Structure 1
Amino acid sequence: MELVTPEELGLHSGQLARIGEHLRGQYLAPGKLPGSITLVARHGQVCLLDVAGQRDLERGTAMTADTIFRIYSMSKPITSVALMTLFERGLFALDDPVHRFIPSWRQLAVRKAGAFPLFETEPCERPMTIRDLLRHTSGLTYDFLRESNIDYAYRKLQIGNPAPGYTLQHMVDQLAQLPLEFSPGSSWNYSLATDVLGHLIEVLSGQSLPAYLQQALFEPLGMVDTGFNITPENVARLASCYERDAAKKLVCNDDGQDSQFRDRVFWSGGGGLLSTVPDYYRFCQMLLQGGSLDGQRVIGSRTLEYMTANHLPGGVDLSAIAMGSFSETQYEGVGFGLGFASKIDPVKNGYPASHGTFFWGGLASTLFWVDPAEELVVIFMTQLMPSSTFNLRGQLEALVYAALE
């Protein structure tokens, strides 16, 4: 990856250098993070690629620029873009009911009372649409949220958790048997919705999700290290993943050399992809350039502009509509589009990225944002779960925008 000086792109070198100083001083030296990679690019050129720390603490393996990471929910924008390439072919409309493509979901209802397995339900005010899945207003949830009787049922049934032989079809069949948290469109809740989008991609395209992502995005964009499983030849490059124990010491929860990603058949479009900083940068640069990269167009510019607008009902921010306490963003001043969060009020949000900046993150503390107004791309990769442990996004926003001339 060729680097240019920050000054060539309208950034201040000294200010930008504070990013590496901050990460090493506040996170790596005290043992709060195992290692990290930070990329800053502007006007289509990279001016910072800060590689620090280790990708495997137990083995003492240094972080390298080609390290492979579990990007978890940074899979969601990729899956959402892939689905919208099928929208561009006229294969569905955003307000099509989901049960048109998943017939077993025709009778979905909303929990009124009770607990698993004895729920009392009431009819939905309207059917769930594909737009609801894309913007997380579907009424679905996640098992790890631990805030309701519904997510308890998800845990009990192990819905969406990789297991030998478990597939997307198994997931949608299980979800057909459970009520929703709320009537679609009435609230926002982080959920398995994007995994359901992965199933819809299979139904609409007639291909497996990995095959369609490869054809529609990874191959034309040259994303050579992005996929659902770690291949034998790449095992050495996969970082280990960590969490903090009661003593705030890093402990490994997924060994890079013997990872759960070695052999799985559950293609989680919401959280199952592995990738590298160079690969994800190519995806982000495509987004910034309106759907094309190096002469390869993968989606239309108007479609992307539409996807990254705020689609929340009434144009509100997440603080006005979200239920649940966990997602990959704070809620104030942030809207949500079709697969991306978007900055709609920087002042209310409290951090200086431009209005219209779109972004997301992943459970292992990875994050990215694309700022069209400044032609800026920022990517941060590490492997610490959960992502709510530290406010890395806010700190990086402050550091990056301080460097703009």
Structure 2
Amino acid sequence: MLRFFVGNGTADNPNAGILLGNGHSYTTYGGACTTGACDGGNGGLIGNGGDGFAGGNGGAAGWFGSGGNGGAATTAGGTGGRGGSGGLFVGDGGQGGSGGTGGGTGGDGGNASVLSFFGTGGLGGVGGVGIDGSPAGKSGFNGTPAGPNGPSLARPARIALDLFLNGGALLGLQSGYVAMFARDGELVHSTTAGYADIATQTPMRLDTQFRIASMTKPITAVAAMILVEEGRLGLDDPVSRYIPAAADLRVATSQTALPDGTIPSVPLDEPLTVRDLLKFASGIGGNAATSDLDRIWAANNLYAGSGSLATRVDRILTAPLYEQPGDVWRYGWSADVLARVVEVAAGEAFGDFVTGRIIDPLGMTSTEFLTAESPRDRLATVYTQNSAGRLVAVERPSGDSLGWTPGGSGLVSTAGDYLRFALMLWNDGTYQDTQILKPETVALMTQPAVQSGVLIDEGIEGLGWGLGMAVVVDGDATATFDRTGDYWWSGFYGTTFFVSPTTGLVGVVLSQNQPGPYSPTPYVVYIAQALAFFGL
């Protein structure tokens, strides 16, 4: 059912989900097309059309997106495929495919919509070369562009984004949203929608605080890289240098327990390193509960019970690792173990180091680790859907870590504060006049250290992992209009940030909804992220 609404097209089902996703581009025969001309899949309402193959037409975009390119003819004298039409409101038409050798006619370029605020018609395909004295084929017609006197792109894109977020709040998908975007270092749009607290009718404000959950992880990574720059920590240092319990780690050879209840395991091939923790290729698990090994990790739950960061990390490191460290990306508690490494290497509490070296220097005055004493007057209430689909307040959010400072969660922040952090990364380690990292360090963090497998279990394609955040390795495969080289991450309660070096766009979108059996995945924040690429 989810694939019906959200998702990229595939070779077997080339059309994208009706709401969000790119149509499939055929580059060879397979799936639903095994012979003849293969038409590219159509994009969702927000999505690009896929490219055709062997003279197939390019897929059409939805409301926002570009049409796919027509496929070049592969038969003698064959006609190239027609370019797909651009989005109804924003987007370019696709290029026509070239005609086949022997005088084939080039395909027509796709048109931009007559309603489009912005868009260029696709170029017509080149006619095929003549053979045996025959003339070359005619080139296809260029697609028509959007009207030259239409309104500017920026204002309609912002209106569409605001309407979309307000619609999400009115429909009860989440209680509300705050979003802020910068282009080339300058704030270009900020918006709020819905309520921070429904019962008191407190509206979302730009200074509303949110539990940002896993958006804490990139901050933890930056903390570690500060120490690397200062020579107090090495990327290839063994973790056991800072956490003695890591010296005794073993690696499971099966996730199924033996009759005596133990997991079969072998010693480490190589020591677990700081780099492995940053890559999330450490073999460290989380709180999944499917296999016997999962249940051992879940029983040692980092976020359950009491104790300091040191006590909790020592506890989880008694379980066997899932695989030998180094190559396989696994979403677990790597960032929390990294936080303990930072704590030891820095010689001060992790929370104090993060506050003193990142939060305070960047002027993130509304960002802190949540404690029992933290003021709550600006903190958004966490909601979840009940069986009737209605939003109900969550009394004890599952990710709260009162009294200790994990590296994988725990911070509360505002859209404006986190935008400062994201702009620091975009600007090669410096925000305004404050340098947090060197440019070469940011470049290292935002290059893919793991090339594939990131979030693949959730049906998300095109992502690798740098040192502390996701990196787009194939922009055509993602469903949110990320460009190759963009980097981003999200949080458990429906928060996300992204940095797009190629476009200069940096954004933060925040909501506050705890996943549950009746709560949908917070696709609204990702769709808002996609919308932001159209003209903000």
Q: Give the Cα–Cα distance (whole angstroms) in 2 for the partners of residues 142 and 250 of structure 1.
A: 28
* Residue aligning to 1:391: 523
> What SS is found at the alignment partner of 1:190?
coil
In the alignment, the residues of structure 2 paired with residue 360 and residue 266 of structure 1 have an alpha-carbon distance, to the nearest angstrom, of 23
Q: 1:318 aligns with which of 433, 448, 453?
A: 453
- TM-score normalised to the size of structure 2? 0.67
Match of 2:533 among 398, 401, 405: 401
Structure having the higher Rg: 2
Partner of 1:346: 475
Instruction: Confirm or deny: 8 A CA contact 2:164 2:528 kept in the other structure.
Output: no
Normalised to the residue count of structure 1, the TM-score between the two structures is 0.88
The match for 2:266 is 122
Q: Which residue of 2 aligns with 1:282?
A: 420
Equivalent residue, structure 1, for 2:237:
96
Q: Who is 2:212 aligned against?
A: 71
Tell me, in whole angstroms, the C-alpha distance in 2 between the residues paired with 1:223 and 1:293. 11
Distance 1:86 1:52 in 2: 39
Gaps of 5+ in 2: 1-151
8 Å Cα contact 1:66/1:237 also seen in 2: yes
Residue 209 (structure 1) aligns with:
350
Pair 131,147 (structure 1): closer, same or farther in 2 beyond 3 Å: farther
Structure 2 counterparts to residues 195-206 of structure 1, below 5 A: 195-206=336-347
CA contact (8 A) 2:220 2:407 kept: yes
More helix by share: 1
Q: Is the partner of 2:253 in helix, strand or coil?
A: strand
* Structure with the largest fraction of strand: 1
Equivalent of 1:24 in 152, 166, 171: 166
**Secondary structure in 1 aligned to 2:394?**
strand
Give 2:56's aligned residue: none
Match of 1:376 among 499, 505, 527: 505
Amino acid of the structure 2 residue aligned with 1:156 = A
Matched, 1:295 2:433: yes
1:260: how far off? 8.3
Matches within 5 A, 1:232-271: 234-254=375-395, 264-271=402-409
Instruction: State whether residues 365 and 388 of structure 1, in contact with CA within 8 Å, keep that contact through their aligned partners in structure 2.
Output: no
Which residue identity lines up with residue 298 of structure 2 in the other structure? Answer: R
Whole-Å separation in 1 of the counterparts to 2:526 and 2:412: 24
- SS of the aligned residue for 2:383 comes to strand
The residue identity in structure 2 corresponding to 1:152 is R
The 3-state SS of whatever aligns with 1:40 is strand
Whole-Å separation in 2 of the counterparts to 1:195 and 1:86: 16
Q: Structure 1 pair 233/350, CA: closer, same or farther in 2 (3 Å)?
A: closer
Q: 1:50 to 1:57 in 2, by over 3 A?
A: same
Match of 1:223 in 2: 364
Match of 1:307 in 2: 445
Aligned equivalent of 2:276: 132
In the alignment, what sits opposite 1:147? 290
How far does residue 112 in structure 1 lie from its aligned partner after superposition? Answer: 2.4
Cα 1:178/1:76, change in 2 over 3 Å: same
SS of match in other structure, 2:360: helix
Letter in 2 for 1:130: V
Is contact 1:51–1:64 with CA below 8 Å preserved after alignment? Answer: yes
- 1:157-207 Cα offsets, whole Å, 9 max, x none, are 3x211544x211112211231101111124111010001111011100001
CA distance in 2, matches of 1:343, 1:395: 17
Report the 3-state secondary structure (helix = DSSP H, G, I; strand = E; otherwise coil) of the residue aligned with 1:274. strand
Cα–Cα, structure 1 residues 394 and 303, in superposed 2: closer, same or farther, change >3 Å?
same
Q: How far has the Cα of 1:240 moved from its partner?
A: 0.7
Q: Retained in 2: the 8 A contact 1:134–1:339?
A: yes
- Deviation, 1:232, is 5.3
TM-superposed CA distance for 1:335, in Å, is: 0.9
CA contact (8 A) 1:163 1:264 kept: no
Distance 1:274 1:390, change over 3 A: closer
Structure-2 residue corresponding to 1:51: 192
Higher relative contact order (CA 8 A, sep 6+): 1
* Whole-angstrom distance in 2 between the partners of 1:310 and 1:153: 31
Q: Distance in 1 between matches of 2:520 and 2:388?
A: 17
The alignment of Structure 1 onto Structure 2 pairs a total of residues equal to 379
Retained in 1: the 8 A contact 2:371–2:403? no
In the alignment, is residue 15 of structure 1 matched against residue 144 of structure 2? no
1:58, distance to aligned residue in structure 2 (A)? 2.1
1:23 and 1:213 map into 2 onto residues whose CA distance is 32
